[in-house]
Amino acid sequence: MIEVKNLTKKYGRRRVLENVSFTAEKGQITCLIGINGVGKTTTLKAIMGLTPYKSGTILIDDEPLTKTSYEKITFIPDAAIMPPSMTIRDAFEFMKDFYGSWNSARAEELLAFFKLKEEFRIAELSKGNIAKINLLMGLAIDVDYLLMDEPFSGIDIFSREQIADVFTSHLIEDRGVIITTHEINDIEHLIDKVILLDNGSVLKEFYTEEMRSEHGKSVIDVMREVYRA
Amino acid sequence: MEITFNNRDPVYLQVVRYFKEQIAIGNLTAGQEISSRRELAGLLKINPNTAQKAYKEMEEQGLITTERNFPSRITTDEKILNSVREELILEAVSSFIASVRPINVPLEELIKMVSEKYSQPEE
């Protein structure tokens, strides 16, 4: 489990995160939603130790971020990770050298799943295909937790569907996944848990199926209530 | 295999309902082997934990049986299978009644209309 407790961060005098607390379980997909402003990406970066924060605690399987716990997590940003001149094959070779836990068979499987070819150059990939390659890179490293920044944003509908298909397939295994998004349309059925952020604070944290069972509300219904209040 | 899910009812119950419909129609028959939870999540494009919950619910209702290390199967208990058909029909009739009741149609007229419509081929 990833536990974020009272995370507070400032950029100069501006408060970016204020007392942010939530948990994300292994084997579940947790979705950080924020319709505007900063907070989502900063939270992911703080979990990865990529940005300093003023106060708060972040625990991964009950441990603070250390060299060992760092190996349990990958972060997938929303831009191309690899240099544009590389082919996908080059990128795989690079990853293999860089990560001891790189799983070549998994990488090949995902490449076939996405119907992409090794000889494609990163520079030539569409935004949708970049998103697929990023997801592939993240899943081909054997880790317990996957943090993904906006995997569904700004890409064509078919790429969205293909990426969504990965989330419902065996390829995701029982990883704990945290994704950020500002739109929830057509991924409501994929996610276990929702954290609604606004202006750096958590407004609500809930399980989607519980919300449907107990209150008959969709994620969008709850977003309407919370953000329009 | 496709279901159009609504976002306000629990997805696992919508999945259970889908299985009940398939049983009532006869697409799923007594003792038939069904997809694994993983396969179902992929087929219906739903969260694997939700698929798991749907199977658990169906096991509790006696609709499917699972023996350790074997694929789940539709029950062979005829009593349960028949009750599924009855349950779905009753539900459909209740919702039909709920939607026509406010219009205050005399029952005889309604029955006449239903039987005429029912015998017409589907458009």
Q: Per residue in A177-218, pLDDT tens? A: 999 998 888 789 899 999 999 988 999 999 999 999 999 999
- State the nearest Cα–Cα gap between B107 and chain A, in angstroms: 33
Residues ≥6 apart with Cβ < 8 Å to A178: A2, A24, A30, A31, A32, A44, A47, A145, A146, A147, A148
Concatenated DSSP letters of A97-166: HH-TTB-HHHHHHHHHHTT--TT-BGGG--HHHHHHHHHHHHHTB--SEEEESSTTTT--HHHHHHHHHH
Contact B48 A172 (CB under 8 A): yes
Rounded to an integer, what distance in angstroms lies between the CA atom of residue A168 and that of residue B38? 8
Cα–Cα distance, A157 to A165 (Å, whole number)? 12
Within 13 Å of residue A29, how many CA atoms lie on the same side as its CB? 26
B12: tokens are 């696992």
Residue B1 has a pLDDT of 66
- Which H/E stretch holds residue A171? none
Are A191 and B47 a contacting pair at CB < 8 A? yes
Confidence of residue A21 (pLDDT cuts 50, 70, 90): very high
pTM: 0.87
Q: Is A204 exposed, middle or buried (0-12, 13-18, 19+ CB in 10 A)?
A: middle
Report the DSSP pairing between strands B73-74 and B64-65: antiparallel
- Complete domains list, chain B, with CATH: 1-123 (1.10.10.10)
Q: To the nearest whole percent, how much of chain B has pLDDT over 90?
A: 77
- This model of the complex carries an ipTM of 0.81
**A154 CA: distance to closest CA in chain B (Å):** 21
SS3 A206: strand
**Chain A residues within an 8 Å CB radius of B12:** 209
pLDDT of residue A14: 84
Q: Is B50 on the interface with A (CB under 8 A)?
A: yes
- Candidate from B11, B38, B42 with C-beta closest to A209: B11
What number of other Cβ atoms are within 10 A of residue B11's Cβ?
A: 24
CB contact under 8 A, A168 and B12: no
Q: Pick the closest to residue A179 from A18, A33, A53 (CA basis).
A: A33
CA angle A42, A138, A193 (to 5 degrees): 60
What's the rounded Cα separation, in Å, for the pair A228 and A115?
41
Q: Which residues of A touch B50 (CB under 8 A)?
A: 189, 209
B7 touches chain A (CB under 8 A): yes
Among the partner residues B13, B45, B48, nearest to A165 by beta-carbon distance? B45
List, for residues A52-63, the tens digit of each pLDDT value: 888 999 999 998
Which tens digit of pLDDT belongs to each residue from B46-101? Answer: 999 999 999 999 999 999 998 888 899 999 999 999 999 999 999 999 999 999 99
Residue B83, both tokens: 């009750």
Domains of chain A as residue ranges with CATH: 2-228 (3.40.50.300)
